[in-house]
Amino acid sequence: MLAFDHLVIAADQPEEEQNHFEEKYGIRGFRGGRHETWGTYNYLAHLKNHSYLEWIGIEDKETARKSDNPLIKQLVHSLSVNQKGPIQFALRTNDMDQFLDYWDKEGIPYKGPFPGSRKKTDGTLLQWRMLFPDIQSHSLPFLIEWEGNNRPDDSHLISNTSFTSIEVGLGNFPNTRRLFEKIYHMESPEHENSTHCTWSLENGSLIAKAESDLRVKLEDIIL
């Protein structure tokens, strides 16, 4: 079963934005590290049920601009038009190769997998893979697979607040449902009406709707 991994938040000043969030909601954050090959860096806030928030900013504009990673391209564009805040999210899988086989079989276009890494503040290297469905005109969540444990070593850096649900829409509810069922091999929704439907993830819920925006719920906090 897929899990909600993290929310990507575009930020001019990731540290400042993360500090503001911490002051407002009491959820502790910390500097994640640098993505040298992408020209970006991030600040993170880890949640109780193996998920996190990522404030990502650009450190080297030229390196970021030249990146072929779809997420970095989206970040560069978003910040260039002053679109700050949540822009994307990742679904975690423990078997990305299974999705590659499935997408090849179903003729689903994709980009990747892209290797990712960042130097943590203790100097160690954290690595992962990212896989992006390439459906024209739609910015769909990407898949991520971690190598090893991406959780903070210090348990005090993990909040007692849990991820609850994420809502996503592509402007048309039936189309949103169809794409999620096909691309992410979702089974029939647990709940459905004329405006939205809900699937269970490993650590919360994914809600498909019509409106083209992202809304994340962390217990009683709505982003």
Structural domains of the chain ordered from first start: 3-151 (3.10.180.10), 165-222 (3.30.720)
pLDDT band (50, 70, 90) for residue 15: very high
Which residues of 64-220 form beta strands (DSSP E)? Answer: 85-92, 110-120, 125-133, 142-147, 165-169, 191-192, 197-201, 204-209, 214-218
Give me the pLDDT at residue 109, please.
Answer: 96
Q: Among residues of the chain, what percentage have pLDDT more than 90?
A: 83
pLDDT band (50, 70, 90) for residue 51: very high
pLDDT > 70? residue 172: yes
**What is the pTM assigned to this prediction?**
0.96
The residue assigned the tokens 């890494």 is: 117
pLDDT band (50, 70, 90) for residue 17: very high
Pick the more confident residue, 138 or 200.
200
State pLDDT tens for residues 105-154.
999 999 999 999 887 777 888 999 999 999 876 789 999 999 988 999 89
Q: How far is CA 204 from CA 48, 78, 82, 165, in A?
A: 12, 27, 30, 5
Give me the pLDDT at residue 120, please.
Answer: 78
Mean pLDDT of 35-48: 96
The residue assigned the tokens 């929704």 is: 189
